[in-house]
């Protein structure tokens, strides 16, 4: 391997790692607030890419049908819950949040597509359409079992992923898509040609990481989310609603997944089931960061991207095996480094 090839592989790995970093940070965000390891994160990113491709082709994306179905289910479940608890006075707010706003996003996309909007507007429409997906999934799937164990939540999350794969095939079809590049600019760093898309991906990862840092450290809402992450009961006693905090976390997660999907769509062919490997590799990065640290998750994700790039050069058939094998020493090290205490259970 020559130095020039190594430099090209490193740049490619950094670009891939930047996408993984966005997904990994979003995964950590949702986990720290809700204790849910949100496996479908990659699916939402893939659905965003498929949505943007449909908008580019001047077609109504399958996300419209997905959002309508999820909104109706979430609204019915929320109204049923309010009826059981005798709090029907909150029904108008529930209908507004779980039905009206998602359908408003669908209507906005449907009306705007009639005037053939430019690419920046299509990107905004794709993000607008994908934003309600994670909060609606939270209300339908995770809210009823919010107090369950992490293992049960993980099992349900995996099952939800397979359900979304089936829905993706139903609403988007089996064809793969690749959108047009977001920029045609390029940079030359020494003898290495750096595509503008790579610079854009890296910039987006750094910007979102910085915004999340500012959000959690310098805003009241961010501090409320951190309080929920540390102690749900204590946060509830201080007037913070864990359910509302979880909804905000899922909204932010949807946004980050959407941005990841838009950034990766021009460089990879995306299918309805492409999100699984994307989310799983980002999850490896989050595990390296300990599932509690945003900088650690980002660093781990960049490491996964660089390792995958060099592994694909050595053996494209074994690159995924090499990446996932990284989990073994990391988990062993964390198991040995952490302090275990024996729990005495009294019956």
Distance between CA atoms of residues 55 and 212, nearest Å: 29
How much of the chain is helix, strand and coil, in % rounded to 5?
Answer: 75, 5, 20
Q: Tell me what pLDDT residue 108 has.
A: 92
In a domain, 133, yes or no: yes
Local structure of 143: helix, strand or coil: helix
Range of the domain at 130: 3-174+187-337
Q: Using 50, 70 and 90 to split pLDDT, how confident is the model at 344?
A: very low
- Domain total of the chain: 1
Going through 163-298 in order, the beta strands assigned E by DSSP cover 186-189, 192-195
In a domain, 347, yes or no: no
To the nearest whole number, what is the mean pLDDT of the chain? 83
Top pLDDT among 247 and 291 is at: 247
* Torsion (CA) 66, 72, 75, 77 in degrees, nearest 10: -90
Length of the chain in terms of residues written: 347
End-to-end CA distance of the chain: 63
Distance between CA atoms of residues 272 and 48, nearest Å: 10
Distance between CA atoms of residues 94 and 74, nearest Å: 9
In a domain, 344, yes or no: no
Asked if the model's pLDDT at residue 134 lies above 60, the reply is yes
Top pLDDT among 133 and 337 is at: 133
Q: What is the pLDDT of residues 294-314, one digit of tens each?
A: 778 888 888 888 888 888 887
In a domain, 180, yes or no: no
Local structure of 189: helix, strand or coil: strand
The number of beta carbons lying within 10 Å of the beta carbon of residue 114 is 8
Highest mean pLDDT among 25-34, 151-160, 294-303: 151-160
Closest CA to 284 of 339, 330, 215, 343: 330
Q: Using 50, 70 and 90 to split pLDDT, how confident is the model at 328?
A: confident
Distance between CA atoms of residues 300 and 289, nearest Å: 6
* Torsion (CA) 166, 168, 169, 174 in degrees, nearest 10: -140
In a domain, 150, yes or no: yes
Asked if the model's pLDDT at residue 137 lies above 90, the reply is yes
The pTM of the full predicted model, rounded to 2 decimals, is: 0.86
CB 303 within 8 A of CB 285: yes
Q: Tell me what pLDDT residue 197 has.
A: 76
Asked if the model's pLDDT at residue 341 lies above 60, the reply is no
> In the structure, how many helices (H) and strands (E) does the chain have?
16, 2
In a domain, 342, yes or no: no
Which tokens sit at 334? Answer: 């964390």
Q: Tell me what pLDDT residue 70 has.
A: 93
State percent of the chain over pLDDT 70: 93
In a domain, 104, yes or no: yes
Asked if the model's pLDDT at residue 85 lies above 50, the reply is yes
The number of beta carbons lying within 10 Å of the beta carbon of residue 341 is 5
Top pLDDT among 156 and 212 is at: 156
Q: Tell me what pLDDT residue 135 has.
A: 92
């Amino acid at each position: 391997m020559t130095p020039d090839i190594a430099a090209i592989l490193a740049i490619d790995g950094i670009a891939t790692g930047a996408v993984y970093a966005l997904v990994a940070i979003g995964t950590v965000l949702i986990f720290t607030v809700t204790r849910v390891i949100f496996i479908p994160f990659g699916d939402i990113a893939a659905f965003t890419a498929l949505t943007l491709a449909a908008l580019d082709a001047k077609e109504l994306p399958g996300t419209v049908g997905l959002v309508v179905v999820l909104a109706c289910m979430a609204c019915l479940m929320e109204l049923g819950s309010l009826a059981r608890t005798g709090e029907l006075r909150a029904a108008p707010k529930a209908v507004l949040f779980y039905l009206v706003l998602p359908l408003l996003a669908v209507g906005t996309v449907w009306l705007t597509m009639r005037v053939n909007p430019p690419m920046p507007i299509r990107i905004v429409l794709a993000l607008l359409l994908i934003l309600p997906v994670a909060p609606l999934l939270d209300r339908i799937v995770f809210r009823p079992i919010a107090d369950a164990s992490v293992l049960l939540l993980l099992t349900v999350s995996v099952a939800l992923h397979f359900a979304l794969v089936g829905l993706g095939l139903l609403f988007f079809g089996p064809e793969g898509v690749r959108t047009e590049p977001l920029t045609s600019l390029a940079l030359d760093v020494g003898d290495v040609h750096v595509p503008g898309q790579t610079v854009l991906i890296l910039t987006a990862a750094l910007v979102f990481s910085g915004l999340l840092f500012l959000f959690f450290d310098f805003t009241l809402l961010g501090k409320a989310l951190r309080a929920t992450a540390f102690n749900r009961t204590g946060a509830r006693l201080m007037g913070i609603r864990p359910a509302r905090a979880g909804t905000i976390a899922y909204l932010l997660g949807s946004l980050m997944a959407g941005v990841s999907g838009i950034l990766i769509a021009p460089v990879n062919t995306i299918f309805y089931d492409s999100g699984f490997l994307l989310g799983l590799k980002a999850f490896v990065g989050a595990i390296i960061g300990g599932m509690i640290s945003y900088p650690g998750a980002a660093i781990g994700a960049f490491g996964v991207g660089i390792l995958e790039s060099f592994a694909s050069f050595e053996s494209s058939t074994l690159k995924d095996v090499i990446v996932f094998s990284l989990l073994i020493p990391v988990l062993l090290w964390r198991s040995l480094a952490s302090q275990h205490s024996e729990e005495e259970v009294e019956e």
